[in-house]
Amino acid sequence: MDRDQAKLFDDQLGLYDPSKTYLENWDEGPFPAKDFKLYEDKGEPELTFLGLPVYSPFGIPAGPLLNSNHIKFAFDGGFDVICYKTQRSVKFLANDFPNVLYLDIEGDLTIERAKQPLVGQPTTTKPLKNVSITNSFGNPSLGPDFWVDDLKKALTYEKKGQLLIMSVVGTIQEGFSQDDYYDDFAKAAKLAASTSVKAIEINLSCPNVASEGILCYTKEAVVAVCQKVKEAIGDTPLITKFGYFSKAQEQLLEDTLKDIEPLISAISAINTLPAPVVDRNGKQALPGEGRLSSGICGASIKWAGLDMVGRLNKLKAKNNWNYEIIGVGGVMGVNDFHSYREAGADVVQSATAAMWNTDLAAQIKANL
Ligand SMILES: Cc1cc2nc3c(=O)[nH]c(=O)nc-3n(C[C@H](O)[C@H](O)[C@H](O)COP(=O)(O)O)c2cc1C
């Protein structure tokens, strides 16, 4: 068994244990390997992202880093550009367990293929580099009474050449108008900015809360949210997290970017690709209303992330835009990191692989 496999199958290792609930992971995680070593950078950071010095253009996106304990672990492991899991202005429960299932899928999850059900199960025999999962949490939040202080604590773990980003999302609440909902993004972002975190990301692409939908495909919504958030956070750089835009949505993408480009400093893409997930008997695999479809990530979505990053880069050149690009999706190893950089990503991040290969940053830094 190779090292990656050993980590995947030993539930004491890694950032997230799918056999435990979200709250158990929150309380007990992360689960460091016995041989986990602190990564030590030498010299001065030579790169910048958002004008800030970073040792490497690599890290972990919003997702596996549930709280300041996970943030500390990731920074210690040498992941330099990392993001706290998306939080809200109010308390919000996680979707029911299970929240992570391994998928029986080989090759690319094309948009056509994502219309057909995928089989999800609690274990896998695949090596980590080929693994795809579904994750379905619904952006749970303990509320700002908890996370604002915890974010302050997380910021104390940010070392020279490292950058912590905070991800937030708006919450639809009883009696809310559309405007109230958009204002709530700004409220959450303002709470984040009060901690002096150096960059704020807004999650416009979560496929796991049926009632909230995926905002990034509605231009008016994206523009309104970006305007309100930017007004609330002032000079703090704003990052938008986008899902995959198909070729047919290219014009929508360009039109949306035209309007928000003056407001944003970077775009993070992609979020997960939604697809129906069933068990071996063809029944909905994740319990609860609206959970037949859930977000797919890992090896099978790399094609989509690379395609999106390439197109964001071309649009940037064509229009003389200045945003930086965070490439996310199916980064399972060193070669994938380089493919993203070649496609135009300023920073590359891995969620699925980094959850079970906590040496990934060290491996990438050895091959920069
Ligand atoms: C366990 C887990 C939780 C996630 N939670 C969030 C989240 O809170 N906010 C967000 O914007 N994306 C979230 N994501 C999506 C990731 O940021 C990323 O866009 C996606 O997983 C694709 O990257 P990957 O193929 O490296 O996993 C999550 C992903 C995983 C695996």
- Per-residue pLDDT tens over the stretch 16-57: 999 999 999 999 999 987 778 899 999 999 999 999 999 999
Residue 265, ligand 1, Cβ within 6 A = no
Average the pLDDT over 11-17 and give the result: 75
The pTM (predicted TM-score) of the whole model is 0.97
The pLDDT value recorded for residue 323 is: 98
Q: Is the pLDDT of residue 1 over 80?
A: no
More confident residue, 94 or 3: 94
Percent over 90 (pLDDT), the chain: 90
Encode pLDDT of 315-346 as tens digits.
999 999 999 999 999 999 999 999 999 999 99
The pLDDT value recorded for residue 53 is: 98
Average the pLDDT over 3-24 and give the result: 71
Q: What CATH code is carried by the domain that includes residue 38? A: 3.20.20.70
Residue 297, ligand 1, Cβ within 6 A = yes
Q: Is the pLDDT of residue 3 over 50?
A: no
Please tell me the least confidently modeled range out of 16-25, 189-198, 253-262: 16-25
Q: Is the pLDDT of residue 9 over 80?
A: no
Q: Are 350 and 360 in contact (CB under 8 A)?
A: yes
Encode pLDDT of 210-235 as tens digits.
778 899 999 999 999 999 999 999 99
Amino acid letter, 60: I
Query: Which residues on neighbouring strands pair with residue 141, listed in sequence order?
Result: 92
Going from the Cα of 63 to the center of ligand 1, the distance in angstroms, rounded, reads 4
Average the pLDDT over 292-303 and give the result: 97
Residue 65, ligand 1, Cβ within 6 A = no
Going from the Cα of 228 to the center of ligand 1, the distance in angstroms, rounded, reads 24
The pLDDT value recorded for residue 254 is: 98
What's the token pair of residue 305? Answer: 């992330």
How far apart CA 231 and CA 69 sit, in angstroms, is 31
Going from the Cα of 153 to the center of ligand 1, the distance in angstroms, rounded, reads 22
The pLDDT value recorded for residue 222 is: 97
Handedness of CA 192, 206, 186, 143 (dihedral sign): negative
Closest by Cα among 358, 274, 286, 287 to 101:
286
The pLDDT value recorded for residue 344 is: 98
The pLDDT value recorded for residue 5 is: 47
Percent over 70 (pLDDT), the chain: 96
More confident residue, 3 or 126: 126
Going from the Cα of 223 to the center of ligand 1, the distance in angstroms, rounded, reads 23
Query: Which residues on neighbouring strands pair with residue 163, listed in sequence order?
Result: 81
Provide the residue range defining the domain that includes 9: 3-365
- Within 8 A by CB and 6+ apart from 179, the residues are 224
Closest Cα to atom 22, ligand 1: which residue? 329
Residue 272, ligand 1, Cβ within 6 A = yes
Query: Strand runs (DSSP E) across the chain, as ranges?
Result: 47-49, 52-54, 58-59, 81-87, 100-103, 118-121, 132-135, 163-168, 199-203, 238-242, 266-269, 273-278, 293-298, 324-328, 347-349
The pLDDT value recorded for residue 351 is: 98
SS (H, E, C) 216-265: HHCHHHHHHHHHHHHHHHCCCCEEEEECCCCHHHHHHHHHHHHHHCCCCC
Q: Is the pLDDT of residue 11 over 60?
A: no
The pLDDT value recorded for residue 34 is: 76
How far apart CA 162 and CA 101 sit, in angstroms, is 31
How far apart CA 276 and CA 302 sit, in angstroms, is 19
The pLDDT value recorded for residue 35 is: 79
pLDDT interval class at 311 (50, 70, 90): very high
Q: Are 108 and 276 in contact (CB under 8 A)?
A: no
The pLDDT value recorded for residue 15 is: 93
Going from the Cα of 352 to the center of ligand 1, the distance in angstroms, rounded, reads 8
Encode pLDDT of 122-161 as tens digits.
989 899 999 999 999 999 999 999 999 999 999 999 999 9
Closest by Cα among 272, 263, 220 to 242:
272
Closest by Cα among 309, 318, 316, 321 to 345:
309
State the average pLDDT for the chain.
Answer: 94
- From 85, 166, 267, 356, give the residue whose CB has the most ligand 1 atoms within 8 Å, as the site to mutate: 85
Number of domains comprising the chain: 1
The pLDDT value recorded for residue 47 is: 98
Residue bearing tokens 């229009």:
319
The pLDDT value recorded for residue 211 is: 78
- From 272, 300, 337, give the residue whose CB has the most ligand 1 atoms within 8 Å, as the site to mutate: 272
